[in-house]
């Protein structure tokens, strides 16, 4: 799972929520969360939405180690 998916889930957001706010289709967001590289324009939109500095936007795509993900509270993961 990449940082984009973790940020979305820990904030209690669905792909539809992010899609409405950014104008990016939920299916496209799912693709990004599963490894497809976003267009530069969409990466900027996601960085702005998640309040990540644009120069750090690529960090949204980095994989999150399983052990980090496993440490997140179960209730957060089920949102």
Report yes or no: 26 and 34 within 8 Å, Cβ to Cβ: no
Can you give the residue ranges of every domain in the chain?
3-77
Fold of 3-77: 434 Repressor (Amino-terminal Domain) (1.10.260)
pLDDT, one tens digit for every residue, the chain (79 residues): 888 998 898 888 999 999 999 999 999 999 999 999 999 999 999 999 999 998 889 888 888 777 666 666 554 555 4
Residue 58, classified by CB atoms within 10 Å of its CB into exposed (0-12), middle (13-18) or buried (19+), is middle
79 vs 55: CA distance, rounded Å: 29
Strands (E) located in 8-63: none
pTM for the model stands at: 0.81
* β partners of residue 2: 63
């Amino acid at each position: 799972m990449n940082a984009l998916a973790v940020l979305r889930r820990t904030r209690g957001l669905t792909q539809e929520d992010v899609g409405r706010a950014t104008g990016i289709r939920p299916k496209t967001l799912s693709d990004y969360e599963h490894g497809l590289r976003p267009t530069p324009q969409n990466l900027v939109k996601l960085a702005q939405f998640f309040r990540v500095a644009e120069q750090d936007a690529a960090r949204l795509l980095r994989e999150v180690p399983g052990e980090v993900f496993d440490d997140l509270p179960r209730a957060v993961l089920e949102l």
